[in-house]
Amino acid sequence: MENNNKKTHPHKFVLWVGIGSILMMFAGLTSAYIVKRNQANWQTFNLPVAFWYSTAIVLASSFTIMLALRSFKERAMSKYRALMVATMLLGAMFVILQIVGFQQLWQKGITLQGNVSYSFLYVIVGLHALHVVGGVIALVVMSSMAFSRKKRNYSIVPVELMSTYWHFVDILWIYLLIFLIMIK
């Protein structure tokens, strides 16, 4: 009798629990945003153009990490290394563009102290940016390990974990952007 029980790797399980927790947090924040926008003093705002550029960057980074995973599976290690570095740089560019976007908001008078609607924007977008920063740090570690001559670990699990997390923060950003555009 053949055993077809495919067990989930413990790290993958933990990642999915973490993603579920992050989803719950953002669901709570966006739900609170919807409830609070009915207040009399709620002010609408337009998102800065830097957020649109960062969206293009994050979509490109999803493509590069997808190709990196494929390259790793094919054992095309030099291509894998280059794509991981590209994803890391795109992630850093995303964060920089988010900071530029916050500066653009600040220059328009959309500050944390301005209105509760502005505070929600800063908290929601800022928390997402922090999750991307965490991903960029993980990409730095993985890229440095890929270039290391000391240890050669060809386990696909870390690459799959990174790819899953990175696609998640990318999709989360698209959701948040659409949400902030449509729910004013």
Q: Answer yes or no: is 101 within a domain.
A: yes
Residue 30 lies in a domain: no
pLDDT in tens, 123-158: 999 999 999 999 999 999 999 888 887 766 678 999
**What interhelical angle do 157-182 and 10-36 show, nearest 10?**
10
Inside any domain, residue 20:
no
User: Per-residue pLDDT tens for 32-52?
Assistant: 999 998 888 888 888 999 999
Report if residue 40 sits inside a domain.
Answer: no
17, part of any domain: no
Q: What is the dihedral of CA 6, 11, 16, 22, to 10 degrees?
A: 180
Question: Residue 158: its pLDDT value, please?
Answer: 93
Range of the domain at 130: 48-182
- Within a domain: residue 144? yes
Q: Tell me the three state secondary structure of residue 46.
A: coil
Summary mean pLDDT of the chain: 91
How many domains is the chain partitioned into structurally?
A: 1
Q: What is the pLDDT of residue 152?
A: 67
Q: Is residue 73 part of a domain?
A: yes
Q: How far apart are CA 123 and CA 13, in angstroms?
A: 28
- What is the spatial distance between Cα 18 and Cα 12, in angstroms, rounded to a whole number? 10
Structure tokens at 42: 């709620």
Q: How far from chain centre, in Å, is Cα 163?
A: 11
Question: Residue 164: which CATH number?
Answer: 1.20.120.80
Q: Cα angle at 164 between 163 and 169, to 5 degrees? A: 100
Q: What angle do CA 54, 131, 184 make, to 5 degrees?
A: 60
Q: Which two tokens stand for residue 127?
A: 């928390």
Q: Is the pLDDT of residue 8 over 60?
A: yes
Confidence band of 113 (pLDDT split at 50, 70, 90): confident
Residue 33 lies in a domain: no
pLDDT in tens, 71-82: 999 999 999 999
